[in-house]
Structure 1
């Protein structure tokens, strides 16, 4: 991983391969290591950039609230530093929110967009209440809160078969400092609905959801691509398709990249 100083804040990123640029954006409590097993496959034909988002992995916190637009501006700075003009974005969960913010702020730099276990919808009232509750709990029981949160990202059926993977995800998640946790929760709470990007933009888009996702209700979220030309790929498992459906996801993404 390399580092760039952005607004006096250290940002960690990786850059591998040559060709059309694929930017892989991790989710909340994750970091760029979630993509490690995909980079080698993708970098054979593409230039692959991964970034630790603000307050995650080896990237420092920029403030006490990291809006999705703050994150997108940081991503833009990394790509400018790398002299990259246009990219295909793949965003997992919160990474999808960041990709949507980027696409709205920098449409001329967006070649295509994949929302992986993510949504264009803003938080509803209940979700905001749950985030506030989690922030309060984080001040008291951070480690146990993170561990429980990670286990719940996998479908119930997979929690035993992926036990070693779950432990590794927990280990990476606990590298997120408390300030990074809170800043991301506050930022996600503030985000606006971006559904219009699915309807009004001309670049290729793809939505990938898990039918047993405990974070994003499958039946609610398939509605966002109704009356659009955005394809929907449905996997049978939970929120962690990059682990629970790894091989199938790699094939889906490579097919999508080839079509862009």
Structure 2
């Protein structure tokens, strides 16, 4: 585990392996431990960087709103610290929003982009309303909010089979401070639509979706890649492809990296 100081805020990250730089960016209520099974496989032929986003894991809070741009800036700060000029970014859920913000801010630094259970679309009016409800809910019942939120990320058919894994995800989520949760919800709520990244950028792009994702409705997210050069991979399960479809995901990512 390494740290840098960015705007008087400690940012935590890890680096393993040698080769093409690959940055793995976790999602909401997660931290870099979510990549513990994939990182060793991916680092066999790549230099893998995992990061704790603002208010998650061992990274401190920067303020009361953590925008996707704020998080993209810490990713860039770490790459600059490591003297990495180009990298492939893999973002899970909120991490995908961060990767898209990075693509807009630092397009020449991006070698490839993977949106894992994520979307380039901005929040709908309904989603923004639900973010506000979530902010109220977590302030009222922190533990209850996290327990319910984590369960809903998995395909209902997998919840019994993966009960131990789900509990591990909950344990990590409970390490996220209230300020970090609220600041991230506020940041996701105000993020801009970035479908143009998938339409206009020339670097290789991959969208990975779960057919039974209860967070991002599958059919609603297909339109963003129509008439683009973005590759689509569909898994049969929920929002947590790195757990529900771990082996298949590893194979897909290795193949994507090889093609760049």
Which bin holds the TM-score, normalised by the shorter protein?
Answer: over 0.9
Alignment-derived partner of residue 5 in structure 1 = 5
Alignment-derived partner of residue 207 in structure 2 = 207
What is the CA-CA distance between 1:38 and the residue it aligns to?
A: 1.1
| In 1, Cα distance between equivalents of 2:141 and 2:199 | 42
Alignment-derived partner of residue 89 in structure 2 = 89
| SS of the residue 1:133 aligns to | helix
Moved over 4 A (4+): none
Q: TM-score, normalised to structure 2's length?
A: 0.99
Alignment-derived partner of residue 178 in structure 2 = 178
Task: Return 5+ residue gaps in structure 1 as ranges.
Answer: none
What is the CA-CA distance between 1:105 and the residue it aligns to?
A: 0.1
Alignment-derived partner of residue 35 in structure 1 = 35
Alignment-derived partner of residue 104 in structure 2 = 104
Alignment-derived partner of residue 55 in structure 2 = 55
Alignment-derived partner of residue 65 in structure 1 = 65
Alignment-derived partner of residue 166 in structure 1 = 166
Residue 198 of structure 1 pairs with residue 181 of structure 2: no
Q: TM-score, normalised to structure 1's length?
A: 0.99
| In 2, Cα distance between equivalents of 1:145 and 1:41 | 33
Alpha carbon RMSD of aligned pairs, Å?
Answer: 0.5
Residues 94-137 of structure 1: CA deviation (Å, up to 9, x unaligned): 00000000000000100000000000000000000000011011
| In 1, Cα distance between equivalents of 2:12 and 2:61 | 12
Residue 137 of structure 1 pairs with residue 137 of structure 2: yes
| In 2, Cα distance between equivalents of 1:43 and 1:242 | 16
What is the CA-CA distance between 1:44 and the residue it aligns to?
A: 1.1
Alignment-derived partner of residue 258 in structure 1 = 258
| SS of the residue 2:36 aligns to | helix
| SS of the residue 1:47 aligns to | strand
| In 2, Cα distance between equivalents of 1:40 and 1:145 | 32
Alignment-derived partner of residue 44 in structure 1 = 44
Aligned length: 260
Alignment-derived partner of residue 221 in structure 1 = 221
